[in-house]
Amino acid sequence: MKIGFIGLGKMATAIIKGLEKTDFDILAAGRDPQKTARQAEQLGVRALSNQTDLVAEADLIILGVKPQVLPTVLAPLDFHQPIISMAAGVSLKRLAELTDPSLPLIRIMPNINAQILQSTTAICANQHVNEQVWDLAKTITDCFGTTFEIAEKDFDTFTALAGSSPAYIYLFMEALALAGVKHGFPKDQALSIVTQTVLASAQNLSQGQESPHDLIDKIASPGGTTIAGLADLEKTGLTASAISSIDATIARAKEL
Computed on alpha carbons and rounded to an integer, the radius of gyration of the chain in Å comes to 22
Contacts of 226 (CB under 8 A, 6+ apart): 219, 220
Q: Is position 89 annotated in a ligand binding site?
A: no
Q: Is position 11 annotated in a ligand binding site?
A: yes
Q: Is position 1 annotated in a ligand binding site?
A: no
Chain centroid to Cα 152, Å, comes to 15
Q: Is position 64 annotated in a ligand binding site?
A: no
Q: Is position 161 annotated in a ligand binding site?
A: no
Give buried/exposed letters for 2-11 (b at 16+ CB in 10 A, else e). ebbbbbbeeb
Q: Is position 7 annotated in a ligand binding site?
A: yes
Residue 57 and residue 81 in contact, taking contact as beta carbons nearer than 8 Å: no
DSSP H helices in the chain: 10-18, 33-43, 51-57, 70-74, 92-98, 131-142, 155-158, 165-182, 187-207, 212-219, 225-235, 238-255
Per this entry, what is the length of the chain? 256
Sheet holding 25-29, edge to edge: 46-47, 25-29, 2-6, 60-63, 83-85, 105-109, 119-125, 145-149
Q: Regarding beta strands 2-6 and 25-29, do their DSSP bridges make them parallel or antiparallel, or are they unpaired?
A: parallel
First to last CA, the chain: 35
Q: Which residues define the annotated binding site for NADP(+)?
A: 6-11
Residues annotated as binding site? 6-11
